[in-house]
Amino acid sequence: MVTDYLAVDIETTGLSPEKDRMIEIGAVKYINGKAAGEFSCLIKICQKLPEKITELTGITDEMLADGRDERMAVTEFLAFAEGCPVLLGHNIGFDYSFIKVAALRFGMEFEREALDTLHFAKKLHPELPSRALSALCAYYGIAQGRAHRAVDDAVSAHRLYCAMAAEFPGHDGFVARKLSYKPRKQEPMTLKQKRYLCDLLRQNGMEYMQEMEYLSKSDASRMIDRIIFTKGKLLS
């Protein structure tokens, strides 16, 4: 059984690593199965947070306004993750894909192996009607804390891993596997889009945030459309 790993969870605006953004990263470093450090941050985004995400996570636009910009959040997380070659999480491929795409956006690499508690649960508990993290925590009597908040879900995945390993001590499937995700190529925002976006933001008394420099062409189009829909077109 692997006992040294970084338990990780993220919260996002949606399901696409290329189109959506992380709003929270939470991680706990475990050495010999014991917590040895914690990382947690909220991340500013260049859009209004979808209402369904606020309902799910409890995270609000006001909370994100005080968060780190994406580049700083990713840089600090990668520094925290240094020396931890193995990640642990529930459906960890999802979290990994978002972190990898964000790292590449700022010219950084992120390659890891991982322990996936969802993968283990599918093998060990095919009889369960649900293998969602909340359902498995209920099955094992694990107090989940604040569900859909990053650090709490990372800790829950760690406790679930320990519970499954204790129930199936002879199982040889608790091994780390190489993670792989190939991001779709994104065209950068055009100069025309940038100028229009800057003018649109200035007209509405809104701030041009540093991370907007890394918007893709499609990201910029969506952001411009949102502002026009809520604030109106650019006045000539």
The reported pTM is 0.85
Q: Is residue 211 over pLDDT 80?
A: no
**Backbone phi, then psi, for 9, in 5-degree steps?**
-150, 150
Q: What is the DSSP string of 179-196?
A: ----PPP-PBPPHHHHHH
Cα Rg, the chain, nearest whole Å: 20
In the sheet where 5-12 sits, what is the strand order? 34-42, 22-31, 5-12, 86-89, 113-116, 177-178
* 76 torsion bin: left (phi>0), alpha (psi -120 to 50), beta (else): alpha
Could you count the other beta carbons within 10 Å of the beta carbon of residue 148?
A: 18
In the DSSP assignment, the letter for residue 211 is: G
List, for residues 113-167, the tens digit of each pLDDT value. Answer: 999 999 999 999 999 999 999 999 999 999 999 999 999 999 999 999 999 999 9
Token readout for 75 is 């840089």
**Closest C-alpha to 43, from 86, 75, 3:** 75
Mean pLDDT of 68-94: 97
CA distances from 131 to 59, 123, 124 (A): 25, 11, 11
Domains of the chain: 5-178 (3.30.420.10), 191-231 (no CATH)
Contacts of 96 (CB under 8 A, 6+ apart): 87, 110, 112, 114, 179, 181
Q: Which amino acid is at 51?
A: E
Structure confidence by residue, pLDDT tens digits, 96-117: 999 999 999 898 999 999 999 9
Q: Which helix (H) or strand (E) holds 112?
A: none
Q: Which residue has the higher pLDDT, 216 or 96?
A: 96
Alpha-carbon distance of 18 to 155, in angstroms, equals 27
Exposure string over 5-30, b if 16+ CB within 10 A, otherwise e: bbbbbbbbbeeebeebbbbbbbbbbb
C-beta separation of 160 from 187 below 8 A: no
pLDDT single digits (tens) 61-73:
999 999 999 999 9
Residues 6, 88 contacting (CB under 8 angstroms): yes
